[in-house]
Amino acid sequence: MLFPSTLLTPLTNGISIDNLSAEITSADYSVSLGNISLSQPINIASGETSIINVSGVLNQNTISQFEAQNPGVNGINISLENLNADVAGVTVHMDQVNDVGQLQLPG
């Protein structure tokens, strides 16, 4: 499964993202939904916007349970936990990034 995300670099130099991984959690319930990682390194030129495609594996049992407990809900608000990235040779770790978007559920 692909999860596209848009990133704008305000830096005067381009950057490279060589590695990125994180755990996807429900922002509302703090339940682990799966994991994502960067498929291949990317380069972003100065002042440019780039779509970062990350691939991931969702825990289908958890998704099914969420759908059963929340009938009619079309998506899950998600956060990221244990985000690790190698950006321009610098390793970055963030314990949590809240409310990064919504995971759309098949209707």
List of domains in the chain: 2-104 (2.60.40)
> Is the model's pTM score more than 0.85?
no
| C-beta neighbour count of 81 within 10 angstroms | 16
The DSSP letter of residue 70 is: S
pLDDT tens-digit series, residues 32-80: 999 999 988 988 888 787 778 888 888 999 989 988 988 888 899 999 9
Confidence class for position 2, pLDDT limits 50, 70, 90 = very low
pLDDT tens-digit series, residues 65-76: 988 988 888 899
Contact at 8 Å (CB) between 50 and 42? yes
β-bridge partners, 84: 21, 93
**Residues contacting 80, CB < 8 A, separation 6+:** 22, 23, 24, 25, 36, 94, 96, 97, 100
β-bridge partners, 77: 102
